[in-house]
Structure 1
């Protein structure tokens, strides 16, 4: 399978320590099967940081690693309460340690308004079903791939 990573600066070596904490599935390296989504992310990151230029890096991955037992993989097939609670735990994690032990997490991208929605839920202004509904990505379901360990990163081959 082909996966894409959108960024503002090209690089050859994936360094998990440069990944930001408190993302949807935790601190890790994020990819998508959607070239358009990666391009959007590259532009967004370039705009936010006001440096570099939109860059999409292409990787190849043997999907067999998701089922052959070589990696611990968590899949969210759709938006669900379990998915929303998983994102909530990762986004609100006060520690540098990951809240889960998965090498790879696969699941829907949350909408860009994640912070506001999690705040509303934490402050009991909305319930869990409303949180799930509000976190659905506005452009339709797009799956993200989180690689959170060196063991997982080694499965990616840059093209």
Structure 2
């Protein structure tokens, strides 16, 4: 499988310590199978940091990682209550200590549209059930791949 990482610079070596905290699936390295999504992320990162150039770094990983018994992998098939609670748990974790024990997490990205709905939920304006209904109207989820441990990162081969 080919995965893409969008940033304001080329990534030669993945350093999890440089990853931002309180992201969808926690502090880790995020990739996408969708090159266009990675390009958008590269442009956004470059704009926000006002430095560098939008850059996509490409990685290959053997699909069998999903079956590797040495890895703890979590896959969310779509927007679900479990996914929303997991994202909230991670976004509320300001520490560098993981809020979960997964090496790899695969699931929908919580983009700006999703973020607005999550904020409405956390502020008590809508129920978790209503949150799922709102999310079901958002045009198809973009899937992200989270690599949160050194063991997981070692599986990525830069192309």
Do the two structures share a fold, i.e. TM-score over 0.5?
yes
| Counterparts in 2 of 1:131 and 1:34: CA distance versus 1, 3 Å | same
1:115 Cα deviation (Å)? 4.5
| C-alpha contact (below 8 Å) 1:109/1:137 kept by paired residues | no
The count of corresponding residues between Structure 1 and Structure 2 is 159
1:123 Cα deviation (Å)? 2.1
* Counterpart in the other structure of 2:22: 22
Q: So what's the TM-score if we normalise by structure 1?
A: 0.92
Question: Residues 77-129 of structure 1, C-alpha deviation per residue, up to 9 Å, x if partnerless?
Answer: 11111000100100011432111000000001112145543332222111112
- Equivalent positions of 1:1-159 (< 5 A) are 1-135=1-135, 138-159=138-159
Q: Which runs of 5+ in 2 are unaligned?
A: none
SS of residue matched to 2:44: helix
Query: 1 CA distance for matches of 2:74 and 2:113?
Result: 24
RMSD of Structure 2 on Structure 1 (CA):
1.7
| Counterparts in 2 of 1:123 and 1:141: CA distance versus 1, 3 Å | closer
Ranges of 4+ aligned residues in structure 1 off by more than 2 Å: 113-120, 129-140
Structure 1 window deviating more from structure 2 (138-147 vs 72-81): it is: 138-147
Q: Which runs of 5+ in 1 are unaligned?
A: none
| C-alpha contact (below 8 Å) 1:103/1:148 kept by paired residues | yes
Query: 2 CA distance for matches of 1:75 and 1:41?
Result: 22
| C-alpha contact (below 8 Å) 2:21/2:95 kept by paired residues | no
Q: So what's the TM-score if we normalise by structure 2?
A: 0.92
